[in-house]
Chains A and B, each alone.
Chain A
């Protein structure tokens, strides 16, 4: 059975690029346009095996969303990859401290993302 990945990004074009990369690798994808939308999608989804989230988003940013996920009894063990244009050490450290499992700086290439996804889903 295909694993489900939740993509959280306010850019629809970025979500499309990530979705196509993941779907072509055999994953099922759920999309959300910001942290708040992502929390709703998480509650609605039967099972999410991994989350790929942007950092800078309206309504609820990626770090705040990540903290909410870690507070959720149901989803706190779901691995989260931050996929963002941010590559400042301070931001990366914020992500690590909030519980992210990996940090990928955009622009990404599909093998790089798929490598991280497969490693964390299997872990």
Chain B
């Protein structure tokens, strides 16, 4: 509205009205801004509090496991499980080795028998030798019986029978020798095959042991890697938790800002009221009164530092605990 000199309404009244409108508008905006900051801050804090809870659940669980001894108990448990697995697998190999030892014992018995076969062969030869001598003896007896004539006829029958028996004994000795030789050949063949098999089995067992050892080491490495990763995640979780806590502390700004804006809002209203009085009376407030009015309600060092040189303002801020 245009104000002219001829207007019935005084300039002072109009200015007072404009001032009142301005104060209501400014304080309305300030209140709006405060409400928005408060709402946003509360929401952010609520969100950070939930994040912090989640982090607590993650980090504290991890730490709990650590407190039970990641290096002592957990690692020891892992080592025990792996050791148990290795023992069980090696147990299978040990069983196989047991079978091999039993087979070696049987083979050793066979080797002993092969050694004994020479003795048996010698015995067979002795039988054959005895048969030959008995045969010579029977021939001599037959010659002597012939010389004795009719009186030696009975003796000739005996000599013939001895000769027949010696021939049979000779055959038996020969067969014993052949059987022993045949047995010897078969046993040696068996020993040769077994020796070849023993080498193969030993190689298989050695390979199995190496494979078991290798698998256990691989599992150990994989578990170790997982543990390292878990520890890294725990450490990162702890770092994030610390950062979140620091961020939450920073939200104290809202309290300070709110106090500054509250004071500003009150100060605007007081200043406007005082100016309206001045308009009505035509007397302006003194510099000291005006400064005192504007600073009424200051509660923070930042407020007091407005208009004060920066270095002096910084020196005035402190947050020590005063005990009484």
Contact = CB atoms under 8 A, between A and B. Distances in A.
Interface in B247-299: 248-249, 251-256, 258-259, 299
A63 to B, nearest CB: 12
Contacts of A95: 324
A101 B323 CA distance: 6
Given A13-B42, A17-B249, A106-B252, A56 B318 contact: no
A57 to B, nearest CB: 10
B49 A16 contact: yes
B305 to A, nearest CB: 12
Contacts of B318: 87, 105
Interface residues of A, number: 32
A84 interface: yes
Nearest to B45: A16
Interface in A81-105: 84-87, 92, 95-96, 100-105
A17 B319 contact: no
Contacts of A17: 45, 248-249, 251-252
A103 B259 CA distance: 18
Contacts of B211: none
A104 B321 contact: yes
B187 interface: no
Nearest to A112: B321
Contacts of A109: 249, 319
Contacts of B108: none
Interface of B is mostly: helix
A17 B42 CA distance: 10
B38 interface: yes
A115 B319 CA distance: 14
B45 A108 contact: no
Contacts of A108: 252, 319
Interface string A13-38: 11011001000000000000000000
B249 A110 contact: yes
Contact of B319 (A12, A101, A102, A105): A105
Interface centre among A12, A102, A116, by most B CB within 10 Å? A12
B82 to A, nearest CB: 38
A104 B46 CA distance: 25
Interface in A16-74: 16-17, 20, 55-56
Given A11-B255, A13-B255, A17-B45, A85 B249 contact: no
A20 B321 contact: no
Contact of B324 (A9, A11, A84, A101): A101
Nearest to A95: B324
B72 interface: no
Contacts of B301: 85, 87
Contact of B249 (A92, A102, A107): A107
Contacts of B248: 16-17, 20
A2 B254 CA distance: 30
A59 B182 CA distance: 121
Contacts of A119: 323
Nearest to A23: B49
CB-based closest 9 A-B pairs? A11-B255, A103-B322, A107-B252, A14-B255, A105-B319, A85-B300, A13-B254, A13-B41, A96-B324
10 contacts: A11-B255, A13-B255, A17-B45, A85-B256, A85-B299, A85-B301, A87-B317, A104-B319, A106-B252, A119-B323
